[in-house]
Amino acid sequence: MATTGTALETRRLTPADAPDLAALAARLGSSETSVQWVRFLSRPDAVGIAAVVDGAIVGYAAGEVRGGFGLPAPAAWIEAFGIDLSWRGHGVGRTLLGDLLGSFRTAGAAHVYTVVPVHDRSLVPFFRQAGLRDEPLACLGCDL
């Protein structure tokens, strides 16, 4: 449970954080596994930030910077974002997003994208409040 006066720190995620990330993701209803986190965080363009309180990861933000889409500069993609339920509403998400966007800028990204379920009642409003807007792109997919 969040307590007043507890110091929030952020740091880069490493593959060694994979078990804690998978456990937090599972508590949030997501399905990322330790193996998936290790693979992601081992990629050369991966950027991952942990929110840590008293040595425990209470939130994560991760993505990567890559070229494509005919853009004149590399673009960043937020691929994973989660905050422990007891830490929501304490500025953890804003802190993580700020650090992640700063890392993306440093890596040369000129724009950031993410894909969020349309009816997500927490992430959609959070990202919109942070300045992300609908893009002129369509998310398309099919089962293989």
Rounded Cα distance, 138 and 136, in Å: 7
Total count of domains within the chain: 1
Residue 1 in any domain: the answer is no
Residue 30 in any domain: the answer is yes
Rounded Cα distance, 24 and 26, in Å: 5
Rounded Cα distance, 34 and 15, in Å: 9
Q: Which two tokens stand for residue 86?
A: 């007891």
70-88 per-position pLDDT tens digit: 777 889 999 999 999 999 9
Give the 3-state secondary structure of residue 21: helix
Q: What CATH number should be reported for the domain holding residue 123?
A: 3.40.630.30
Q: With pLDDT > 70 as the criterion, what percentage of the chain qualifies?
A: 96
77: containing domain: 8-129
Residue 105 in any domain: the answer is yes
Q: Which two tokens stand for residue 121?
A: 């009642």
Residue 110 in any domain: the answer is yes
Q: What is the pLDDT of residue 3?
A: 47
Residue 109 in any domain: the answer is yes
Residue 140 in any domain: the answer is no
Write the CA distances from 69 to 12, 23, 29, 75, 105, integer angstroms. Answer: 27, 34, 31, 9, 18
* DSSP string over 29-65: T----HHHHHHHHTSTTEEEEEEEETTEEEEEEEEEE
pTM for the whole thing? Answer: 0.88
